[in-house]
Structure 1
Amino acid sequence: MKSSLMTIGQVAGHFGLPAHVLRHWESVGLLSPARVEGDRRRYTRDDLFRVASIMRAKQAGLSLPDIRAFLTSTHTAARKDVLRRNHHALQARMAALRSALDLLEAGLNCSHEDITTCPNYRAHLANLVDVQDPA
């Protein structure tokens, strides 16, 4: 990547994003690229790291307000609070995805004609089916 300033189109192309996403992120306080003649945006290498941070945080499930709090906080404790909360949520999503993957693998390894009767497949669903007796 060149060390020169980049246009919004170049940054969008580099990250595979529509330019309007970068404009939106700017409007909600996540980005603040420099402006040159004609009020055109110019992005620095630091801006690219910021875009990469936003993208990775979105992949982790953070909301835009949480990403803004994370990236703009000058207080370590506040930043860590945002990260800790999202860390727990991501761990829960990962556990759910692992469970879903186990179910698919059980289905792939099943040779029963009716998969819903397969004991191995059913074992992966037991926690969803078992109902506690309210009495």
Structure 2
Amino acid sequence: MAVSEGLAIGALAQRTGLAVSAIRYYEAQGLIAPWRNAGGQRRYQRADIRRLSFVMIAQQFGLTLPEIGKVLSGLPGNRTPTPQDWQKISVGLRDHLDQRIDTLTRLRDNLDGCIGCGCLSLPKCALYNPDDRAKSKGSGPRYLMGDTPEA
């Protein structure tokens, strides 16, 4: 197969380990953009192997598909990304990963105590969150999100 003919969806599935249905889903989400050959079959660029691999990795980082799409929009669509392209992306992902690590660390460290939800459903919560003070900081698990209880 000549490179100009592109990859069939089955070949892309084999190379990435993704199901054909997953590839079609990512296409529908705008993460890859195949073209149709004269016979109407989808054809993919070799660069789509790396794009889909990045999608799988970014999901493990906790990025949503819209966030992944935004990152991928900075990559060239007509060629395989260079190490410089990936370097630019990795710099942007570091902040996201650092925030996720901080959140997971707080969760781990507070897993056996109050997670700051303000529910007061556990007897111990009254010690961490008397009179539901966390509620004044907003919705959600405030202490897990980085707020600190007043002394």
Q: CA deviation at 1:21?
A: 1.0
Question: For residues 132 and 13 of structure 1, do their structure 2 counterparts lie closer, same or farther at Cα, with a shift above 3 Å needed?
Answer: same
CA–CA distance in structure 1, aligned partners of residues 112 and 20 of structure 2? 44
| Other-structure match for 2:48 | 47
What aligned pairs does 1:103-118 form with structure 2 within 5 A after superposition? Answer: none
Q: CA deviation at 1:35?
A: 2.1
TM-score where L is the length of structure 1: 0.58
Q: Which runs of 5+ in 2 are unaligned?
A: 76-88, 116-123, 132-151
Q: CA deviation at 1:89?
A: 4.5
* Count of residue correspondences: 106
Q: CA deviation at 1:92?
A: 3.8
SS state of the match for residue 96, structure 2?
A: helix
**Kept after mapping to 2: 8 A contact 1:3/1:45:** no
| Other-structure match for 1:95 | 105
More helix by share: 1
Sequence identity, in percent? 30
| Other-structure match for 2:112 | 125
CA–CA distance in structure 2, aligned partners of residues 56 and 3 of structure 1? 29
Q: CA deviation at 1:25?
A: 0.9
Question: For residues 91 and 6 of structure 1, do their structure 2 counterparts lie closer, same or farther at Cα, with a shift above 3 Å needed?
Answer: same
What aligned pairs does 1:29-40 form with structure 2 within 5 A after superposition? Answer: 29-40=30-41
Q: CA deviation at 1:126?
A: 5.5
1:44-70, CA deviations, whole angstroms, 9 ceiling, x for partnerless residues?
221111111111111111111000111
Question: For residues 93 and 41 of structure 1, do their structure 2 counterparts lie closer, same or farther at Cα, with a shift above 3 Å needed?
Answer: farther
Q: Is residue 2:134 matched to residue 1:134?
A: no
What CA RMSD, in Å, does the superposition of the two structures yield over aligned residues? 3.5
Q: Which runs of 5+ in 1 are unaligned?
A: 101-123
> Which amino acid is 1:25 matched to?
Y
